[in-house]
């Protein structure tokens, strides 16, 4: 049994899509277990660029099965669009994509509600993707959610929709002219009906048959609803803590957790960001790294790598290996900084602060590294990396006490260095 999870270690957009795509060859099934189309996972194959929002990135590999599990919130309109776009580009989706009957649906009122809510918050708006993610999870926990499985019984489905239209929209004082706003939603829901299945059961059968499962996290640990920088988070457990409840699988069946992190830090939307660079250096990272949201196109905030945050993330997730991405973005810098701790009033922090108030007052402690000053995107073997890169990587490994097994030096599949002496390689990729 060799099942692996790929988890964002920072605030999302770490390059999970690229790494999932690159690892996929060694797995049979790829599973999304939380989030929705707030995610944007970029995969570049040759000259083709794909951005996946809901469908697991494994769909780009013929013959791999893709599951969207119960922990997700699914906007059927967005999903239908994604399926049709992939099919138009020659990707076979039918009979390879299976959606849990227990996932929750995002409907038009969720999106309206979120827009109103963000407006009401004014300056303290979270800066959500406005996809209706939070309101859909809210309804799930209020036990008034509309589930994918409801589509199967049209009577139940239409009764529930009637309820949302009449009761909930009046509760929130929304003006729906006619139920027309729901027409597209209903049509798309009926379109995805044929993809519905019992994902926990498929996983059980797959594992019994010796198939290997790859769990594809969305967002990142610092956006986790419980352990992220609340309330500037998403509404699901986007760390490894969300896998078991989100996919319906025992923790004993997850054999490794690969944490993905950028060689610097980014975040989109509001909320604390201790190592943020607001001036010229932040602009530089944004420009060199192409740091604009894959889902919303918003500019990402940029800052230095924060190892104190990464230590917190490593502890929570239990990373067994790490993949560093976008190292090439630092190529031309003469100096590179890394945060090794936080202090307030001269005293260091032991734990990662749990409140916004504390986090807003911390002063990051930086260690400065000499840059390597040359291009590294063409390098294929670890030993060929400049000395300064290897020094930078070993400092990170020692600090976090986890091996960096993958070094990504460019957006494409081929710009990747895989340490073939690593535990990740011998345990998960060596066949």
User: Which of 240, 265, 320, 325 touches ligand GDP by CB under 6 A?
Assistant: 325
For residues 147 and 300, which CB has a smaller minimum distance to ligand GDP in the complex? 300
Q: Which residue has the tokens 């060689």?
A: 263
Q: What are residue 341's DSSP bridge partners?
A: 365
Q: Is 41 in the site for ligand GDP (CB under 6 A)?
A: yes
Residue 21 CB, shortest distance to ligand GDP, in Å, is 9
Residues 275-304 that bind Mg ion (CB under 5 A): 294
Q: Is 13 in the site for Mg ion (CB under 5 A)?
A: yes
Residues 191-220 that bind ligand IMO (CB under 6 A): 218-220
User: Which of 66, 329, 402, 429 touches ligand GDP by CB under 6 A?
Assistant: 329
Contact criterion met (CB below 8 Å) for 318 and 338: no
Q: b/e per residue, 368-396, with b = 16+ CB within 10 A? A: ebebbeeebeebeebeebeebbeebbeeb
Residue 334 class from Cβ within 10 Å (0-12 exposed, 13-18 middle, 19+ buried)? Answer: exposed
Binding mask 241-280 for ligand IMO (x = CB under 6 A): ---------------------------xx-----------
Residue 385 CB, shortest distance to ligand IMO, in Å, is 26
User: Which of 4, 10, 12, 106 touches ligand IMO by CB under 6 A?
Assistant: 12
Residues in CB range of 322: below 8 A, 6 or more apart: 9, 258, 259, 260, 261, 396, 397, 400, 402, 403, 404, 405, 406
Residue 156 CB, shortest distance to ligand IMO, in Å, is 28
Q: Is 18 in the site for ligand GDP (CB under 6 A)?
A: yes
Q: Is 74 in the site for ligand IMO (CB under 6 A)?
A: no
What's the chain's Rg over C-alpha atoms? 22
Find the part of the chain contacting Mg ion (CB under 5 A) among 36-44, 277-285, 341-349, 378-386: 36-44
- Residues 157 and 37: their CA atoms lie apart, in Å, by 22
Q: Is 408 in the site for ligand GDP (CB under 6 A)?
A: yes
DSSP-derived secondary structure for 79-143:
HHHHHHHHHHTT---TTTEEEETTPEEP-HHHHHHHHHHHHHHGGG-----SSSHHHHHHHHHTT
Residue 39 CB, shortest distance to Mg ion, in Å, is 6
Residues in CB range of 180: below 8 A, 6 or more apart: none
Q: What is residue 336's DSSP assignment?
A: E
Find the part of the chain contacting ligand GDP (CB under 6 A) among 102-110, 127-135, 204-212, 325-333: 325-333
Q: Helices 183-192 and 76-88: crossing angle, nearest 10°?
A: 60
Residue 224 appears among annotated catalytic residues? no
Q: Is 326 in the site for ligand GDP (CB under 6 A)?
A: yes
Q: Can you give the binding site for ligand GDP, defined by CB under 6 A?
A: 8, 12-18, 40-42, 44, 290, 294, 325-326, 328-329, 408-411
Catalytically active residues are 13, 41
């Amino acid at each position: 049994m060799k099942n692996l999870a790929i988890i964002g270690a920072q605030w999302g957009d770490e390059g999970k899509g690229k790494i999932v795509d690159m690892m996929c060859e060694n797995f049979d099934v790829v599973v999304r277990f939380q989030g929705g189309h707030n995610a944007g996972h970029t995969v570049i194959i040759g000259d083709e660029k794909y951005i996946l929002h809901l469908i697991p990135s494994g769909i780009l590999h013929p013959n791999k099965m893709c599951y969207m599990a119960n922990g997700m919130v699914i906007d059927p309109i967005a999903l239908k669009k994604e399926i049709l776009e992939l099919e138009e580009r020659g990707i076979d989706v039918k009979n390879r994509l299976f959606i849990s009957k227990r996932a929750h649906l995002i409907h038009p009122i969720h999106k309206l509600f979120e827009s109103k809510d963000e407006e009401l918050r004014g300056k303290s708006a979270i800066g959500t993707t406005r996809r209706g993610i939070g309101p859909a999870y809210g309804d799930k926990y209020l036990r008034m959610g509309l589930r994918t499985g409801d589509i199967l019984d049209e009577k139940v489905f239409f009764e529930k929709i009637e309820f949302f239209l009449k009761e909930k929209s009046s509760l929130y004082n929304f003006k729906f002219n006619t139920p027309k706003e729901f027409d597209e939603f209903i049509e798309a829901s009926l379109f995805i009906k044929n993809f519905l299945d019992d994902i926990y059961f498929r996983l059980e059968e797959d594992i019994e048959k010796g198939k290997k499962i790859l769990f594809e996290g969305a967002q990142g640990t610092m956006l986790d609803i419980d352990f992220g920088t609340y309330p500037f988070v998403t509404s699901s457990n986007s760390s490894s803590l969300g896998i078991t409840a989100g996919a319906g699988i025992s923790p004993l069946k997850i054999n490794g957790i690969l944490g993905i992190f950028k060689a610097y830090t980014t975040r989109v939307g509001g909320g604390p960001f201790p190592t943020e660079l607001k001036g010229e250096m932040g602009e530089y990272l944004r420009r060199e790294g192409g740091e604009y949201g894959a889902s919303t196109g918003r500019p990402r905030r940029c800052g230095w790598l924060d190892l104190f945050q990464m230590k917190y993330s490593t502890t929570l997730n239990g990373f067994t290996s790490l993949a560093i991405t976008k190292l090439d973005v630092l190529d031309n810098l003469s100096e590179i900084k890394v945060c090794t701790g936080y202090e307030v009033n001269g005293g260091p922090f032991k734990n990662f602060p749990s409140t916004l108030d504390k986090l807003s007052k911390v002063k990051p402690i930086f260690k400065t590294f000499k840059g390597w000053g040359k291009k590294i995107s063409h390098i294929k073997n670890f030993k060929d990396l400049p000395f300064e890169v290897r020094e930078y990587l070993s400092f990170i490994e020692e600090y976090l006490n986890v091996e960096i097994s993958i070094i990504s030096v460019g957006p494409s599949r081929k710009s990747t260095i895989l340490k073939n002496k690593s535990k990740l390689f011998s345990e998960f990729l060596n066949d």
